Amino acid sequence: MSDTRSQGLLFSRLLYPFVDIFCFYSYGPSDLTKIARWIATWPSQNGPLWRPSLMVLLCEKHLLQPDAAAVAEHLFTSTITTLTTKPLDCYFTDSWFLPTTDSSSSALIQAGFREHLSVVRLRRRESGLLLSVEHTNTLFERAFESAGTLYYQPIDLIRSARRDIPVSTELTDHLVHFMSHITSPKDLISFASPIIASSLFCDHYLPDMHLFNPHDVFQSLYRNVCVEACKQATTADRNEGHLLPSGLSSSIARRFSSFFNRLKQGESSKCIPKSVLIDHADRWANIKSYRTCFSCLTQTPRHKLSCGHWICETCVQIFGVSEPADPYLFSLKHCLLDGDVIDLIVRIRPPTAGHSILCVDGGGVRGIIPPAILAQVQQQLDLPIPIQEFFTLAYGVSAGALIVLAMFANGWSVERCGDEFQELAKVAFRPPSTVSVPGVNWIRAILSDSIYSEDDIEIALRSVFGETAFTETAYAQRIGAKIGIPAATIDHPSSLCLFTNYNSSNQERRGYRVLAEAENIKTWEVGRSASAALLYFPAKYLAGLGTFQDAGVLANNLLTIALAEFAATHGKAQPDLVLNVGTGTSPNAPLKDEVSKFITDSWIVRLKRAYMSLMQGRRIWDDVTSADVHAGRNCGRYRLDLTVANPPAIDDAASMPVLLSMVYRDDILLGAVPEIACHLFATLFYFELTALPQKSGSNLCVKGSILCTRKGRDAALPKIAKKLLRSKVYVNGKSSP
């Protein structure tokens, strides 16, 4: 690229949006022609938001001509037009040709500059482009970073301002989905239009965002999205005729601009959409969906409200209330849509804080083991914090599902989980009247589809979990925990489905399916579906979804799915800690050089052995960690488990005291607990910048604070502070004082 062309790109692309006046000196007609020819090489601007002014100071030879300014202007504009077929105002809003002499005082020139600058400044303000110093510096840095692409695409200041928070790629789908709930064209104008406009307005005009002209904002960010959404929405069959897409899109644009006037008059950007929603509160009774947050129309919602509507975590943070002492615990008293009392309390994870995952294996009565193991970790931590509050994601299979639900949905301590699990197992595995007759249980299972009745376990689960919907578990919302419980379909081939208390992203899953449509399923029904062990309990039918059974036969360790769910939400980030708690693993039997025996190695016995081997969660753990070692991701992943030489039957409730005693005697297991407790303690802390990083040679100087996730008047803080006195902070592998 020639120097002339490079200079042209520098002026016309990089400097152009930030310059108020381009000023050139011309000492004669030849100079003026060179300047005009050079400007003619500038790439077309294609309707930029801003056009600077042009000032040409005429010296020497120009002054020999009468009416020098008019002659120079004619020469300059005619040259531009001849070379480009475009008028001068395609490049500059206005132009001044100012004759000067050597004897002209600098004061005269400065006066001319000040006069023109005041005009330009007023024009910038009216155009919404009078940037602050901070905004100018940031936007110029971003323009400089993208200098390589400026020849093909001039910088868009509005899009550049949104670089860190771009418009959602799913916005069109969300708008179409919202408008699909509206039946008449009239309501699209009177109801959908203001709702959409206010949502888009709140999406852009965030606190401290520069107040760009609303027309320019809509054209740059939302016009194409709205046109496409309106095309799809207006082609649907509706009552009372049809509506032109252009009419609906124009209505949204007009309302968007009208909200800007309210913003300039002092109304906050979050109050505007809130007031619009309140004005239409009577319209939301039958408009509900887990696919789109109707409070903002830009996000997939995460939390279900007691009124049946859903809300995303962004809206919880914008419209919820938090205390300065605990800024990430948000409360929302009323639904933003219909105004119903909801009393939602949600904890949001600080943006720079890490995440920890808990996975609990299944195993029938061996489900008594995980609470006992977790109790050892809790004891080692020695903090008044329930151990489940150290984890942000929790997954459990079969019996492990019941443990996870009790801890994260009910908020029970691990000690209570262990006690209640024993009682539940005794009820669920209550021996039938025919137990004393050999072989009768197998016949009973074949004839009635299970050994045990579903009545006993369902009564017990209802008693434990009540009638609350799984998506409305208040304790999990309050501690900011996401729960995933698997169940298997009974179809061929059987597939694994995941019940969640959170509404997951729309990202496609591999190897399993998230049941987003299970929003009304109760917690006890989730537990019943997850624990419907093949042979022991009948499969569970859930209206509108299908029939489900224990997923342990497909995956008795949910580690791979837990990591996949984490990736679906957090992308390429890695969790700080993963803890997999097993329910007892049998050591591998040595090979025997002997022929199978007719009775002890019959097909029924071999089938039972194969079935029991499927509950070896260790196998999945080994597969995952082996892959992680090769990928260099083995840090912070732990498995706590027992070695059980002769595992009891799934329904052997009498074996639970023995299993508990084994936990307290397993030196290998207990020896691993202190390291895990230390790592869990470290997850209570996170680093937060207090200033933007500053370059220092080839390095960056970073300043920030190490903060604790426990806030406010938390009873654990004194003990945490005491433990910190005995702790060290490591930066780049080196301890810091």
pLDDT in tens, 494-512: 899 999 999 876 777 888 9
CA distance 507 to 502: 14
Which of helix, strand or coil describes residue 271?
helix
What kind and span of H or E run contains 178?
A: helix 171-179
Q: Is the peptide bond before 245 cis (omega within 30 degrees of 0)?
A: no
291-300 mean pLDDT: 95
Give the separation between CA 453 and CA 348, rounded to whole angstroms. 42
Amino acid type, 130: L
Tracing tokens 């943006």 back to the chain, one arrives at 351
Q: What is the mean pLDDT of residues 596-620?
A: 62
Q: Are the beta carbons of 563 and 628 closer than 8 angstroms?
A: no
Tokens 């307290």, residue located = 664
pLDDT given at position 102: 64
Indicate whether 424 pLDDT > 80. yes
DSSP string, 597-652: PTTTT-HHHHHHHHHHHTT-HHHHHHHHHHHHHHHT--TTEEEE--B-SSPPPTT-
More confident residue, 618 or 347: 347
Residues 369-384, mean pLDDT to the nearest whole number: 97
The torsion angle over the Cα atoms of residues 380, 659, 557 and 467, rounded to 10 degrees, is: -90
Alpha carbon 590 to its chain centroid, in Å, reads 48
Instruction: Pull the structure tokens for residue 7.
Output: 């200079």
Q: Mean pLDDT across the chain, nearest whole number?
A: 88
Beta bridge partners of residue 226, listed in sequence order: none
| Model confidence at 225: pLDDT above 70 | yes
Alpha-carbon span 200 to 217, nearest angstrom? 10
Every domain of the chain and the residues it spans: 3-157, 171-347, 356-435+463-524+551-681, 684-736
Instruction: Check pLDDT > 70 for residue 461.
Output: yes
Range picked from 231-240, 522-531, 683-692, 723-732 for highest mean pLDDT: 522-531
Interior angle at CA 482, CA 476 and CA 484, nearest 5: 115
Q: Is the pLDDT of residue 632 over 60?
A: no
SS3 call for 520: coil
pLDDT in tens, 125-157: 998 999 999 999 999 988 888 877 766 677 889
188 compared with 592, residue with greater pLDDT: 188
The band of 634, judged by pLDDT with boundaries at 50, 70 and 90, is low
Helix (H, G, I), strand (E, B) or coil at 707: strand
First to last CA, the chain: 54
626-664 CB burial, b ≥16 within 10 A, e <16: eebeeeeeeebbbbbbbebeebbebbbbebbeebeebbe
- Residue pair 347/711 in contact (Cβ under 8 Å)? The answer is no
- Structure tokens, 290: 């887990």
So which residues are the catalytic ones?
398, 550
Residue 698 vs residues 146, 694, 695, 703: alpha-carbon distances, Å: 21, 11, 7, 17
Distance CA 358, CA 581 (A): 8
Task: Specify the CATH number for 356-435+463-524+551-681; select among 3.40.50.11890, 3.40.50.300, 3.40.1090.10, 1.10.760.10.
Answer: 3.40.1090.10
Instruction: For residues 167 and 176, give the distance between their C-alpha atoms in angstroms, rounded to a whole number.
Output: 16
Higher per-residue confidence, 640 vs 450: 640
Residue 56: left (phi > 0), alpha (psi -120 to 50), or beta? Answer: beta
The CA-atom distances, in angstroms, between 491 and each of 447, 494, 495, 549, 557 are 20, 5, 8, 10, 21
Q: How far is CA 64 from CA 44, 58, 697, in A?
A: 35, 11, 53
* pLDDT one-digit tens code per residue, 251-276: 999 999 999 999 999 999 899 999 99
